[in-house]
Structure 1
Amino acid sequence: MDAIVFGATGFIGRSLVAELLGRGQQVVAAVRNDTLTPWLKSQNVGIGGLTVVTADISRPLTGAGLPGARDVYNTAGRYSFGLGVPEARAANVTGALNVLDWAATLPGLRRVVHISGYRVSASDAQPDYARLGAYEASKVEADHAVRTRAAELGLPLTIANPSSVIGPGQYIGLAALVKDLWHGRLPALPGGPDVFVPIVTIDYLVGFLAEIPAAPAGEHYWVLDDTTPLLPELISTIAGHLGVRAPRRTIPVGLVRRLPRGLTGADPETLSFLSSDRYPTASARAFAAAAGLEPPPAVEALRAWADDLVATRFGAASPWLRPYGFRSVAGSRTWVAGERDRPAHVLLHGLPMNADLWAPVAAHLPGPVLAPDLPGLGRSAPADGRTDAWLAELLAPVRTRPTLVAHSLACGPALRFAVEHPERVSRLVLVSPAFLQAPGPWLNRSLLAVPMLRRMSAARLAATLGLPEGPEVASAATDLRRPGVARRVVAALRAASAARDRSRALLERVSVPVQIVTGSADPLTVDTGHPVAEIAGAGHYPQLTHPARVADLIGEVSVR
């Protein structure tokens, strides 16, 4: 075999396996449980060259029946805070030494590549577990122990010291700060204005690791991006991209250590990483240049990672529509998912939901869709002006005449756009247009009280809306807890109620075909003169309870 990767189900390990397989190598993945194969398939990685074996590096590997390999990668370890000392040492120290002892038995060994950390090699050989915490101290101890054991065994060793690794699927470390920022729980940054928390992207790192075995042994590398902004600027950059407010103050680390954790929310084990130290990256930069590797611009990488964090709800959900990310639309940092240039359908959500409302319907629709969160709602920041200007700018890049689909509150802006720009849309579908219906149980006192709305659990929100609990309702409940969203939902409900008569009058002016879709439990109270499809047994949200039927009604006219 070309390579064996220990810790192949971890964030770095699985991406390294994918990289090596992509280079045509025969790879052994040493795992405790095979969650790797499903992940590789989900990433469209061919697994013809993959062999998966079971291994526990906390126990001696000699005689374990593992297949030999030319290159040995140890990406295994426990990256977690709050570990006990025995647990941390078993994975990060004993496990690393067991890998070396086993590698020494391989007759065709070319290289052992050990993944360490960017903070550890400058530390003492006898780490202070009480001061550093079990995770960092065990990594410090392992770094020195691995160097010593490899020298004793005469092993060709290369140590890679990556910094904070970012990319799709990374939800720990720096991600915790971004999560607090997104949810409005980061009033101040721990550390001073010169704190340097360098990053490296996962794609760049595994490309670097894959090149190491063919290079001369004896060199160790700090793999990180020296151009990473200082921490206050880094957080400010992400905040600007997400459309949220960045903290303006910093708190010295010494003060954070003295304050109760319940007040600061800071894990004491993370504070030693808040340093202004710089690192010896010259050899890594020269190696990367010789291999033709170049890291992506740090700011662009941070923004792309922030999109992934929000799309996956920081690891709690799976995105239903790609591509996705924040875009600047009429002064709003708008969450936009799907096809921006040539959609067959544009889907606008109602209240108090977000674009995820359309996931069940989109699964049945022919052709690509574009589904944004309305400005100020869901994941989107407020716009500078009216929703009409926002919608016009959102659809400016569209080169098709899509079917414009709107639900409830969004029916008003969609109708106005169709009246003003009939050449831009082929058809208008209004699902449960609130301005044509009596206020139903979905519009009750719970939805007009900001504190109550913001505190709603997914279960309570589902019950309030008369819906089964599901991922779409859970997604909406998550967004309602973000600062300002619940307040803007209430304001939008009241504004839409005041504009009911104006919206009804526009129906007489629209020149594109109109299809109205309602549920039998939420019928129209006004005769519009346009076709109405009533779905038996549905309420105000038929796209959640009867998605296939709604998709049939939407998809009747193809894009021109």
Structure 2
Amino acid sequence: MAPDSIVFGAAGFVGRSLVAELLRQDREVAAALRGRGDRLTSWLAGQGVDAARLTVVTADVTVPGLGLDGVSGPGAEGLAGVRDVYNAAARFAFGLGVEEARAVNVTGALNVADWAAARTGLRRLVHISGYRVSGGPADYRRDGAYEASKREGDAAVRARARELDIPLTIVNPSTVVGTGQFIGLAAMVHDLWRGRLPVLPGGPDVFLPIVDADHFARFMAAVPEHEETRGQAYWVLDDETPNLPELVALVAGHLGVRAPRRTVPVRVVRRLPRALTGADPETLSFLSGDRYETAPAAAFAERAGLSAPPVEQVLRDWADGLVGTGFGEGVPPRGPYGFQDVAGSRAWVAGERRDPGYVLLHGLPLDADSWADVSELLDDQALAADLPGLGRSAPAGSLDDWTAALLEPVRTRPVLVGHSFGCGPVLRYARARPDRVSAVVLVAPAFLQPRGGRFPRSAAAVPVLRRISRARLGARLGVPGAALGDLRRPGAARRVVEAMRAADAARNELRGLLDRVEAPVTIVVGSADPLAVDRPAVVIPGAGHYPQLTHPRELAMALGAVAERARREPRLSARG
């Protein structure tokens, strides 16, 4: 089948969400990209979207004709049958040059309009504009290249549509949020997470509205289906978005970090040096109390059967995605993940919370992501979490109370696995609640190994750990730097050192506790990281202190063998 819809800018954050929605509706879609389509198709696969109806074409919106003359693709008959044209192509960045911004946001928008006008069966051109496009002509000096070019492009497309009688609908979204959005408001969340947001720019009435990416995609997909939308422009944003101070406080509470308590008027921020404020001058025009006419968009959404998810949940899910990907530096964890309440503190939890076959507690200076490769290889679902005060989790009062609270919702009797420092809470929980676990595995238990210099325990190490890169620290520990927890967060390095010192002080306690645990205990070590005591252990050849990072397959096999023995020889009745 030939494509009936085409999306320009299909590899961008908004464009790919729209492509996914159209494919879910069994539409025949052409994705117009400047480069190869591998990134888009990989992303679609990761979202579970069937791309059988997708045709990827190469296009350049900055040139007349878009480079699409005579295009054909596998399984397609060209683009002659396209009736819905979506322009999601935009150059969205601050600090752009004027010509760079205009090439896509003005000239490119007009080129797409001209190409759409030549479609004999055109039903609709849907142009994605910006929500701050009203209020006079473009002023590049006042607004900056991005906002001014979007304003100019909006006016130019409207004029071209009148001239060529193009069936046009303009959608003006606010900040579109969802997994993969790392600019704009995301930069403020990043500063909040890093402890670099002591005050908020703007006043208490600043309104920085958002819209959920999936809802926006559904809205766009529905527009051409309704004749009433022709010639209309819709502000698509969530009016329930709290004012900026409340929005930041909501996100801070979800992340378990401190929200700024004071605001600084924009006029003051403009006068201060950028090196001091960290604020890009182009972003300041977005910090206003302006409200928008959203009633037409809300009315259409209701008629189309669309409803936006609660804005508070959208913000929380987005914040989880930002932190889960390291604000774009990495890939998100597999399976469900995010912040949850555990023992009255915010904890980063990944995996199956209620019915895991394994519960995995990490060592130092790692976090729950250190188990990712092992979890992928296990024969059952796993639950992993960042220990309190470590990784992404906020501090908590008692580590043992925290562990009990983490496991309270668990309905299975999992294999409880601890690595190094994580062996302590595992042993204490198994001793206190033998009915809740089927077996215990201690991976590289530091309390059974020689005291050594794997990781510094003195307070003097804190400033060093704050500055050292994860790559250098990983090289020292013999593991990939990307697998290490983030020590740049406020207090993170100090808490890691304190945990090391606490673990060293608990060595004798844990050695005595080991013999009193009722559940079967298996010890796993690397051949390059032996025990200092005479204890039976599963030895992984060639592994050091972090086999979950260097030998995940071998460790997963060892854990699977323990689980299989527990299934064959149940010692305790299952929990009712």
| 1:349-388 mapped onto 2 (5 Å cutoff) | 349-383=362-396, 385-388=397-400
- Preserved contact between residue 344 and residue 400 of structure 1 (Cα < 8 Å): yes
The equivalent position to 1:176 in structure 2, one of 178, 184, 187, is 187
What's the counterpart of residue 545 of structure 1? 550
**Identical-pair percentage:** 63
2:393 corresponds to which letter in structure 1? S
Compute the displacement of 1:229 (Å). 0.3
| 1:444-523 mapped onto 2 (5 Å cutoff) | 444=456, 449-465=461-477, 467-473=478-484, 476=485, 479-523=486-530
CA-to-aligned-CA distance 1:95-135 (integer Å, 9 cap, x gap): 11111111111111111110001111x2213x110111000
Aligned equivalents of 2:59, 2:50: Cα separation in 1 = 23
The equivalent position to 1:3 in structure 2, one of 2, 5, 11, is 5
The equivalent position to 1:12 in structure 2, one of 4, 11, 14, is 14
Matched, 1:226 2:239: yes
- Preserved contact between residue 330 and residue 389 of structure 1 (Cα < 8 Å): yes
| 1:145-184 mapped onto 2 (5 Å cutoff) | 145-184=156-195
Aligned equivalents of 1:276, 1:65: Cα separation in 2 = 48
The equivalent position to 2:123 in structure 1, one of 110, 116, 125, is 110
- Preserved contact between residue 192 and residue 253 of structure 1 (Cα < 8 Å): yes
Greater CA drift, 372-381 or 445-454: 445-454
1:404 corresponds to which letter in structure 2? L
Compute the displacement of 1:348 (Å). 0.4
DSSP 3-state at the match of 1:527:
coil
The equivalent position to 1:407 in structure 2, one of 419, 426, 436, is 419
Aligned equivalents of 1:99, 1:140: Cα separation in 2 = 17
Aligned equivalents of 1:168, 1:277: Cα separation in 2 = 27
Compute the displacement of 1:431 (Å). 0.9
What's the counterpart of residue 140 of structure 1? 151
2:103 corresponds to which letter in structure 1? A
Greater CA drift, 518-527 or 26-35: 518-527
Matched, 1:267 2:271: no
DSSP 3-state at the match of 1:555:
helix
Compute the displacement of 1:255 (Å). 1.1
DSSP 3-state at the match of 1:295:
coil
CA-to-aligned-CA distance 1:304-360 (integer Å, 9 cap, x gap): 100011111111111232100000000220000001111111110011111122123
Aligned equivalents of 2:121, 2:475: Cα separation in 1 = 64
- Preserved contact between residue 3 and residue 27 of structure 1 (Cα < 8 Å): yes
1:344 corresponds to which letter in structure 2? G
Aligned equivalents of 1:27, 1:464: Cα separation in 2 = 50
Matched, 1:60 2:50: no
| 1:518-529 mapped onto 2 (5 Å cutoff) | 518-528=525-535
Ranges of 4+ aligned residues in structure 1 off by more than 4 Å: 445-448
- Preserved contact between residue 526 and residue 543 of structure 2 (Cα < 8 Å): yes
What's the counterpart of residue 404 of structure 2? 392
Q: Give the gaps of 5 or more residues in structure 2.
A: 72-78, 568-576
What's the counterpart of residue 206 of structure 2? 195
- Preserved contact between residue 446 and residue 452 of structure 1 (Cα < 8 Å): no
- Preserved contact between residue 340 and residue 398 of structure 1 (Cα < 8 Å): yes
- Preserved contact between residue 457 and residue 498 of structure 2 (Cα < 8 Å): no
Aligned equivalents of 1:323, 1:440: Cα separation in 2 = 36
CA-to-aligned-CA distance 1:402-421 (integer Å, 9 cap, x gap): 11000111111110111111
DSSP 3-state at the match of 2:64:
coil
Compute the displacement of 1:213 (Å). 0.7
Change (3 A) 1:169 1:507: same
What's the counterpart of residue 207 of structure 1? 218
- Preserved contact between residue 457 and residue 501 of structure 2 (Cα < 8 Å): no
The equivalent position to 2:28 in structure 1, one of 22, 26, 29, is 26
2:548 corresponds to which letter in structure 1? Q
- Preserved contact between residue 448 and residue 490 of structure 1 (Cα < 8 Å): no
Compute the displacement of 1:447 (Å). 8.1
1:460 corresponds to which letter in structure 2? R
Aligned equivalents of 2:292, 2:433: Cα separation in 1 = 57
Aligned equivalents of 1:445, 1:509: Cα separation in 2 = 29
Aligned equivalents of 1:469, 1:325: Cα separation in 2 = 23
CA-to-aligned-CA distance 1:348-388 (integer Å, 9 cap, x gap): 001111112212322322111111000010000011x2111
- Preserved contact between residue 324 and residue 333 of structure 2 (Cα < 8 Å): no
Aligned equivalents of 2:263, 2:98: Cα separation in 1 = 31
Aligned equivalents of 1:542, 1:18: Cα separation in 2 = 38
Aligned equivalents of 1:357, 1:214: Cα separation in 2 = 47
1:505 corresponds to which letter in structure 2? G
Compute the displacement of 1:521 (Å). 2.8
Compute the displacement of 1:446 (Å). 7.3
1:132 corresponds to which letter in structure 2? D
Compute the displacement of 1:471 (Å). 2.4
Aligned equivalents of 2:322, 2:378: Cα separation in 1 = 27
Compute the displacement of 1:543 (Å). 2.0
Number of aligned residue pairs: 550
2:190 corresponds to which letter in structure 1? K
- Preserved contact between residue 191 and residue 252 of structure 1 (Cα < 8 Å): yes
Matched, 1:305 2:318: yes
DSSP 3-state at the match of 2:522:
strand
1:504 corresponds to which letter in structure 2? R
The equivalent position to 1:436 in structure 2, one of 406, 423, 448, is 448
What's the counterpart of residue 270 of structure 2? 257
1:8 corresponds to which letter in structure 2? A
CA-to-aligned-CA distance 1:452-505 (integer Å, 9 cap, x gap): 11212112212332x1434213xx2xx111001111111111111111111111
Q: Calculate the TM-score normalised by the size of structure 2.
A: 0.93
CA-to-aligned-CA distance 1:10-68 (integer Å, 9 cap, x gap): 11111111111111111111111123222222222111211111111111017723513
Q: Give the gaps of 5 or more residues in structure 1.
A: none
- Preserved contact between residue 471 and residue 482 of structure 2 (Cα < 8 Å): no
Q: Calculate the TM-score normalised by the size of structure 1.
A: 0.96
- Preserved contact between residue 19 and residue 206 of structure 1 (Cα < 8 Å): yes
Aligned equivalents of 1:534, 1:251: Cα separation in 2 = 59
Aligned equivalents of 1:27, 1:407: Cα separation in 2 = 48
Compute the displacement of 1:448 (Å). 6.0
Greater CA drift, 61-70 or 179-188: 61-70
What's the counterpart of residue 74 of structure 2? none
Change (3 A) 1:143 1:310: same
What's the counterpart of residue 573 of structure 2? none
- Preserved contact between residue 431 and residue 517 of structure 1 (Cα < 8 Å): yes
CA-to-aligned-CA distance 1:122-165 (integer Å, 9 cap, x gap): 2213x110111000000010111111110011111110000000
1:380 corresponds to which letter in structure 2? S
Greater CA drift, 40-49 or 96-105: 40-49
CA RMSD across the alignment:
1.5
2:550 corresponds to which letter in structure 1? T
Aligned equivalents of 1:445, 1:404: Cα separation in 2 = 27
